């Protein structure tokens, strides 16, 4: 019987008493018996939580920098020497769900639950994304995932698609995958802070409860409240993403009234914290969203498992009652498995805070991969190979999306790959009258490398490689703006150095060859953009300009709200189709000098 079969609808009276809408029921499950690392007759119940986050459909072992994880117990360098020269670090090569499955089996006992903190799907490699991440969800079922919070990427294809993935059925446009009709998941995506605007009811189950040896453990799911700024607006139309702490506290109070005193928050929001410091050392972090949530959640909540920032940390803070409370995150791409052991008092039904022990364990590839999961991965790889291996163009050298994130004088925000993608979107949008194109750097997920990744040959770009660059299936659109609006839009770009570390927070749009301008970081925010030219001619405030961008940006994504100030929308192809068509038409392609933005710092 699946967890969905066990869903129960709470009464309207109970919902009213809780002060929250409960039209979407929570999931409830139970495990019986005693054993594991506790035993019959004990005054406490042992619980082991294993957690992952931000898998992003990485079924195969990730490669390159995405495969590396800082590991105190790891080698100074990888066996192939590729990590030589990384100062002061011990790294391991990690990840791959068949290895993750083995690590989970080795850590699992009879009192274990496997949970997650969102972004398990979305922004996925082609092996999963070609079939709308059904492959990843199938594997997560094999791993025995009990529940997870939703992440922002779970909404990449929209709320309706997320419901289909949970409930089953074939994709409404692409139909069934080669594996047949999708049966749905055996677990729910939780989100206590996502409501339907028209009714105020939950869009997804707010929590999940599981009984272990007679004691109930509740898991409250949260997704970052910033989701509307980082996913396509149309896909979440009609949904409201509320502040995380208040939403969790309402669900927590309801659970406590129902006798569920042991509570864990799974939140897709996190921090940027230096790895490998002691749990107490990161409790002083006061600026990041993840630690704010961990501090402010009500004292009934015993533990916070986070995601979103792709960091690996075990931290400790104080809750509002002054009790220690751990909050954790396990990196990304299946490279880390977080293990948390705790004891629950049988009398109070609550977690004994002093018993909590947490550790991030690297998912090394020194173990034998799980044969069942490996067979699943290979089956999906075979199914997607014909699509992935198709040649679409050639390049003469690496074309990268790398911005040098330092305080060096040579640092600039424009990249050769950003230029290439913007040019491809401009060409694809000519039918809509586009004169310039702008691309968000966060939508460019990796670089194009000259060296072959398989047997395609050096310089050959395959469909799979192009997909890795642009995995979101956004639509290229065109709208009309004034020159003044274009300047205001470019003024919304961010380039902020950290005065202590020199690291730079940047959000600078990539531009097509038809647009040039100057960006002066020495001037105040709002007065940094000047000398805007369209095909070499100065832009006036009153002239009309047709701008192409993907629908994520057109919806105001990444904080570029000026995009929403025009509505005369022309819609063209999917961005990946525009990119592959451009590569095919213009190969061989060499990297641009990335000199369209004159950058002053």
pLDDT at 3 over 50: no
Whose structure tokens read 């751990």?
326
Task: Tokens for 66, please give them.
Answer: 């995405």
C-alpha angle 289-291-295 in degrees, rounded to nearest 5? 120
Determine the Cα–Cα distance for residues 284 and 291; give it in Å rounded to an integer: 9
Task: Tokens for 549, please give them.
Answer: 């961008």
Residue pLDDT, tens place only, 497-534: 877 767 778 899 999 999 999 999 999 999 999 999 99
| Banded model confidence at residue 279, pLDDT cuts 50, 70, 90 | confident
| Banded model confidence at residue 7, pLDDT cuts 50, 70, 90 | very low
75-84, 158-167, 534-543: segment of lowest average pLDDT: 75-84
| Banded model confidence at residue 273, pLDDT cuts 50, 70, 90 | confident
Q: What predicted TM-score, i.e. pTM, was given to this entire model?
A: 0.80
Q: Looking at per-residue confidence, does 508 or 275 come out higher?
A: 508
Pairing of β 504-507 and β 510-511: unpaired
pLDDT for 205 equals: 98
Residue pLDDT, tens place only, 211-262: 998 999 999 999 999 999 888 888 999 999 999 999 999 999 999 999 999 9
Whose structure tokens read 């805007």?
532
As a 3-state breakdown, the chain gives helix, strand, coil percent values, each rounded to 5, of 25, 25, 45
Q: Average the pLDDT over 433-445 and give the result.
A: 95
Diameter over CA atoms, the chain = 83
Coil, helix or strand at residue 365? coil
In whole numbers, what is the pLDDT of the chain averaged over residues? 88
Q: What b/e string do you get for 255-292 counting C-beta neighbours within 10 Å, with b at 16 or more?
A: bbeeebbbbbbbbbbbbebebeeebeebbebeebbbbb
- Cβ atoms 498, 569 nearer than 8 A: no
| Alpha-carbon torsion angle 236, 240, 242, 246, nearest 10 | -130
Closest CA to 355 of 5, 43, 598, 7: 43
Q: CB neighbours of 430 closer than 8 A, spacing ≥ 6? A: none
| Banded model confidence at residue 24, pLDDT cuts 50, 70, 90 | low
80-89, 163-172, 479-488: segment of lowest average pLDDT: 80-89
| Banded model confidence at residue 9, pLDDT cuts 50, 70, 90 | very low
Task: Tokens for 350, please give them.
Answer: 């609550």
Whose structure tokens read 């409830």?
28
Bridge partners, 25 (sequence order): none
111-125, 251-265, 283-297, 554-568: segment of lowest average pLDDT: 283-297
pLDDT for 406 equals: 43
pLDDT for 114 equals: 98
Closest CA to 373 of 96, 577, 159, 186: 96
Determine the Cα–Cα distance for residues 563 and 485; give it in Å rounded to an integer: 9
């Amino acid at each position: 019987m699946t967890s969905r079969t066990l869903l129960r609808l709470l009464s309207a009276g109970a919902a009213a008493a809780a002060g929250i809408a409960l039209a979407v029921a929570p999931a409830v499950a139970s495990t019986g018996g005693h054993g594991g690392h506790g035993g019959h007759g004990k005054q406490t119940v042992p619980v082991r939580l294993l957690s992952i986050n931000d898998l992003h459909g990485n079924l195969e072992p990730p490669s390159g920098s995405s495969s590396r994880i800082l590991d105190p117990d790891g080698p100074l360098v990888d066996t192939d020497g590729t990590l030589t020269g990384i100062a002061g670090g011990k790294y391991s090569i990690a990840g791959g769900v068949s290895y993750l499955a083995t690590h989970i089996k080795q850590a699992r006992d009879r009192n274990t639950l496997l949970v997650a903190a969102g972004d398990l799907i979305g922004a996925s490699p082609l092996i999963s994304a070609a079939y709308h991440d059904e492959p990843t969800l199938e594997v997560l079922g094999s791993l025995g995932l009990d529940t997870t919070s939703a992440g922002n990427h779970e909404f990449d294809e929209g709320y309706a698609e997320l419901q289909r993935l949970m409930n089953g059925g074939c994709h409404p446009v692409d139909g069934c995958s080669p594996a047949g009709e999708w049966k749905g998941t055996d677990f729910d995506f939780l989100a206590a802070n996502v409501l339907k605007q028209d009714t105020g009811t939950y869009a997804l189950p707010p929590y999940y409860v599981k009984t272990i040896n007679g004691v109930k453990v509740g898991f409250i799911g949260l997704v970052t409240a910033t989701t509307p700024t980082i996913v396509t607006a149309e896909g979440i139309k009609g949904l409201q993403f509320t502040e995380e702490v208040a939403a969790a506290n309402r669900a927590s109070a309801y659970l406590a009234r129902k006798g569920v005193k042991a509570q864990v928050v799974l939140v897709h929001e996190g921090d940027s914290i230096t790895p490998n410091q002691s749990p107490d050392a990161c409790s002083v972090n006061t600026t990041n969203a993840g630690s704010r949530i961990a501090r402010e959640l009500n004292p009934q909540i015993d533990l916070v498992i986070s995601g979103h920032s792709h960091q690996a940390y075990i931290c400790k803070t104080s809750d509002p009652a002054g009790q220690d409370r751990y909050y954790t995150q396990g990196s990304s791409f299946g490279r880390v498995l977080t293990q948390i052991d705790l004891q629950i008092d049988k009398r109070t039904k609550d977690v004994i805070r002093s018993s909590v022990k947490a550790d991030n364990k690297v998912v090394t590839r020194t173990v034998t991969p799980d044969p069942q999961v490996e067979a699943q991965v290979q089956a999906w790889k075979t199914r997607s190979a014909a699509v992935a291996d198709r040649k679409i163009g050639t390049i003469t050298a690496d074309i990268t999306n790398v911005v040098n994130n330092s305080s060096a004088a040579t640092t600039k925000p424009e990249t050769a790959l950003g230029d290439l993608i913007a040019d491809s979107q401009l060409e694809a949008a000519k039918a809509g009258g586009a004169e310039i194109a702008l691309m968000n750097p966060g939508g460019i997920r990796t670089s194009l490398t000259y060296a072959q990744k398989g047997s395609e040959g050096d310089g050959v770009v395959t469909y799979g490689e192009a997909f890795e660059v642009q995995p979101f299936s956004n639509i290229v659109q065109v709208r009309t703006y004034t020159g003044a609006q274009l300047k205001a839009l470019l003024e919304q770009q961010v380039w902020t150095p950290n005065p202590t570390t020199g690291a730079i927070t940047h959000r600078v749009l990539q531009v097509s060859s038809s647009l040039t301008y100057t960006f002066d970081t020495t001037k105040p925010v709002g007065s940094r953009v000047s000398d805007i030219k369209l095909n070499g001619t100065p832009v006036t405030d009153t002239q009309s300009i047709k701008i192409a961008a993907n629908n994520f940006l057109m919806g105001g994504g990444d904080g570029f709200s000026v995009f929403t100030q025009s509505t005369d929308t022309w819609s063209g192809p999917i961005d990946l189709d525009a990119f592959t068509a451009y590569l095919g038409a213009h190969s061989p392609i060499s990297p641009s000098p990335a000199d369209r933005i004159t950058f002053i710092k």
